[in-house]
Structure formats: structure tokens, C-alpha cells
Amino acid sequence: MTELESSDVGSELKKLGYWNELYSKENYFGTGQTILANSAKELIDKYHFQKILELGCGQGRDSVFFAKYGYDVTATDISENAINFVKKIKNENNLKNLNLFVHDTKKPFDFLNKKFDLIYSNLALQFFNLSQLDSIFFNISNLMNDDSLFLFSTKKPGDKYFNFGNKISDHAFEYKGITRFFFDKSELEDVLKNYFNIIFLQDDKHVNQDGTESVWWKILVKK
């Protein structure tokens, strides 16, 4: 193993340790579905979708929300602690229609042998640079049918975490080994257009209890 490869492995292990530690705490991000999940539910009802894939499900707030409606839900996360937490909720609620996998979103989804009506990700893609997103989008496109949709959100400049931690670039900041990327609209459009037709790419926001503001891009695309 070269010095560079060793450094990359160490970086990935540090990230994994961060997520496993975070998700060792019960309901770290709260309970109940997110704002984006409500938008997803509207799409599911409108187009009569059944097969849902969530990437970066965390502790399962949204995937459990979808599964309780009876949809065929597959959810992935890089953190084993996160997936184990969701498994507990799955078993407590007898959600046999909720399928869970420990998986790094950067890697191909070869273990999934089906396509999905809706692919969904709430703020989990903010941790990947544009090159990584290009690869991820390619892999996602291969999981979609012609009438499938991909709904996701990612942070934008002006969010409360913008300028938080060590500055990597004008739009990237690192904290405890985790780098958040805050993309401009044009940057996202350029990489999305390689694989998708953009239905909308709009900004959204939420005022937090501490008075800070969370802002993100809300994005819907099709093949």
C-alpha cells in the first residue's frame, strides 16, 4: 500500500468512526419524518409509486415513515450503528417491507437487483465532492426506469454550517474528518445534466430552534 492509499484508508476510517459514534446516540437528529419526506410522499401518491430507495438513511426517520404506508422500501447507510438502530424500529413495528443495508454511497449498488420508482436522499449527498457526485449520479441512474424520479436535497452556501470548521475551499469545510460541500446551482446543474433531466432545482430553508437558518437545494430529476 502506498502512502497515498494508506492516507485515503485512514481518512475513510475516520469518517466511518464519526458516523458510528454519532449514530450510537438514540434519535440524534430527532424523530418524525423530515420536510423533504413530505414532498416525497406527495410524489409517491401522485404517481402511485411502490418501490422506494433511500440513500444515507441515518436512523431511519424517513424510511420508516415510508414503510409504515406499506411501500416496498430499501434503505442504505454507511454506518452499521445507524442501520442497527433502524432494524430495531423495523422489528418493533413489524415492517417486513423495509430492507436495510450497510453501504457506502460512493460504491456501486451491485447488490440491488431491481430498479426503483423513487430514489430519495435527504441531505446525505452534501458530503461528496462534484467528482464523487458524478459517479454516484451515474450509479443512481442505473437504478431508475424511464418513469422513475430522484428527489434529494443538499446544502447550499449560506447554511448555518457554511464557514464552520476548517476551510478546504471556498465552498467546502471540514470538521472532525467530515467535509461538507456547499454547491452553487450552476455546479449542480452541470453534473446532473450528465445523467438526468432536471424537473426543478430550487432553494428551501428552515429556521432552527436556536434561531440559525438551514438552507439547502431541493432537487427533482428524471432520466
In a domain, 207, yes or no: yes
In a domain, 190, yes or no: yes
Give the Cα separation of 38 and 97 in Å (integer): 19
Q: Give me the sheet containing 172-175, strands edge to edge.
A: 166-169, 172-175, 178-181
Per-residue model confidence (pLDDT) at position 94: 98
Give the Cα separation of 112 and 114 in Å (integer): 6
In a domain, 137, yes or no: yes
Q: Which of 36, 75, 40, 35 is nearest to 58 (CA)?
A: 75
Number of domains in the chain: 1
In a domain, 172, yes or no: no
Q: Which of 3, 20, 31 is nearest to 79 (CA)?
A: 20
In a domain, 46, yes or no: yes
State the pLDDT confidence band at 173, using cuts at 50, 70 and 90.
very high
The domain of 126 spans 3-155+184-222
In a domain, 179, yes or no: no
In a domain, 120, yes or no: yes
State the pLDDT confidence band at 206, using cuts at 50, 70 and 90.
confident
Does pLDDT of 73 surpass 90? Answer: yes
In a domain, 174, yes or no: no
CATH number at residue 202: 3.40.50.150
Per-residue model confidence (pLDDT) at position 181: 97
CB 147 within 8 A of CB 205: no
Does pLDDT of 171 surpass 90? Answer: yes
Give the Cα separation of 79 and 19 in Å (integer): 6
State the pLDDT confidence band at 4, using cuts at 50, 70 and 90.
very low
Per-residue model confidence (pLDDT) at position 209: 77
Select the more confidently predicted residue: 21 or 188. 188
Give the predicted TM-score (pTM) of the model: 0.92
